[in-house]
Amino acid sequence: MLLLLACSTSDSDDSSTNRHAAAVTFVQRFYDWYVPLGDGPTVTTRYDSLARNESGWFTPALAAALTNDLEVQRHDTTGDIVSITSEIDPFVASQDPCPRYEARDGRDSSGRVVVSVYPVCNGRAAAKPSILVEVSVFGDGLQISNFRNPDYATSDVRQELANTRPASAKAIPRP
């Protein structure tokens, strides 16, 4: 599911502005679709839906990382929290999501457009974003390539999802 852009490339500034606006609209559409699917990180059906039916929102690397995380949790027999998606909703950076999220402020970063996403709880948008969504532009289409928490410089949801391993594999033997 790639969002087709209707951008003019006649002027570099106009093109950049159009790309940013298209990325913000794309991210807002994602959150408008995603958030109502369920509450909290224990609602695996929305993750399953993303991984199996709606993975077109994501680049192949992010879709594969989400699938990895889901499979690790699904096959774990320890009863421990062994995956990112079982602990927190990585797409809203919260265990207790707000009923709405607002995408704003597209800017260029390393060949992608980064969109700031603000939680809207009790009818008020937060003063600062809770998540930064990286959007890759592919010709005339867009896909989400990563989610980052703006409060942590090293935050990288795609890498965290991809690195999820069963609890038994996480144990470090002591000498």
Q: Is residue 11 pLDDT above 60, yes or no?
A: no
- Say how far apart CA 155 and CA 65 lie, in whole Å: 15
H-state helical runs in 8-53: 12-34, 44-52
Type of residue numbered 126: A
The pLDDT tens digits of the residues spanning 75-115 come to 766 666 666 666 778 888 887 889 999 999 999 888 899 99
Is 65 a residue whose pLDDT tops 80? yes
According to CATH, the topology of domain 12-163 is Nuclear Transport Factor 2; Chain: A, (3.10.450)
User: pLDDT tens digits for 20-59?
Assistant: 999 999 999 999 988 887 654 445 566 766 777 677 899 9
**Cα(148)–Cα(103) distance, integer angstroms:** 14
Integer Cα distance of 30 and 91 in angstroms = 10
Residue type, 70: L
